[in-house]
Amino acid sequence: MTETTPDPTAAATPVGAQRLLDRLSITGIEAFGHHGVFDFERRDGQPFVVDLVLGVDTRAAAASDDLEDTVDYGALTTRVKEAVEGDPVDLVETVAQRVADVCLADDRVGWAEVTLHKPQAPIDATFTDVALTIHRSRG
């Protein structure tokens, strides 16, 4: 590993990246998807919620005060919502990876922490939420 690449397995939050990159958080992105292993999940769909934490060097944007020099979180949120609402898949792991890929498509994002919530997962018990958090980085 190079010094500029955070180790996503080092901790729940890429601690090494905190020294190198700033953190941009976007939480509670709501989307309606048709993902799941059961036919009724594919047919009826259900809500999903996405939380993002992105490693971004914001110094250029701070100096220029220009949106072109940073991650446009409005546009990113739209792309993330579209990714969740896209083609149905079986697993939340696949959806979370799809979202991470969208985030890392912007070269200014060094790493992404994606939490995908499936609050209405078909579980035969009382529960609050099912959430998967993945960490992905460049390289």
Distance CA 130, CA 125 (A): 12
pLDDT of residue 20: 83
Active site residues: 118
Percent over 90 (pLDDT), the chain:
84
Q: Which pair of structure tokens corresponds to residue 19?
A: 């020294």
pLDDT of residue 7: 47
Average pLDDT over the chain reads 90
pLDDT tens, residue by residue, 102-137: 999 999 999 999 999 999 999 999 999 999 999 999
Q: What is the mean pLDDT of residues 70-98?
A: 98
Q: Show the domains of the chain with their CATH numbers.
A: 15-137 (3.30.1130.10)
Q: What is the mean pLDDT of residues 58-86?
A: 97
C-alpha distances (whole Å) from 87 to each of 36, 65, 94, 95, 130 are 11, 37, 11, 10, 21
- What's the first-to-final CA gap in the chain, in angstroms? 9
